[in-house]
């Protein structure tokens, strides 16, 4: 697989995860769950990138799509929760 196609697959999967996050939103969770989900999703995003680069394009795209959705959702939830605590 060429580098250009790998980059396109990675960017496309991340954009699809972002789109899913914007369409579906997120559910409530506590700060611990947010932190664990954020760190775990970061690991899975890297795993998806390496899968695509390694030639497992479809699996890598699916991993990136799901992980980027979780990564965005947990990061946004944590940010809102921290802003709320600072405002109190």
pLDDT tens for 46-83 read 888 889 888 898 898 888 888 888 777 766 666 676 67
Largest CA distance in the chain: 52
Least confident of 22-31, 39-48, 55-64: 22-31
CA pair distance 48, 74, nearest whole angstrom: 18
Token pair listed for 66: 């799901």
Q: Is the pLDDT of residue 88 over 70?
A: no
The pLDDT value recorded for residue 69 is 80
DSSP for 67-81 reads: HHHHHHHHHHHHHHH
Q: Is the pLDDT of residue 6 over 80?
A: yes
């Amino acid at each position: 697989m060429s580098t250009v196609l790998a980059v396109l697959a990675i960017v496309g999967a991340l954009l699809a995860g972002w789109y899913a996050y914007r369409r579906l939103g997120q559910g409530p969770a506590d700060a611990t769950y947010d932190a664990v989900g954020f760190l775990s999703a970061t690991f899975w995003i890297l795993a998806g990138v390496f899968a695509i680069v390694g030639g497992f394009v479809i699996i890598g795209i699916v991993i990136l799509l799901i992980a980027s959705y979780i990564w965005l959702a947990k990061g946004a939830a944590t940010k809102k929760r921290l802003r709320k605590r600072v405002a109190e």
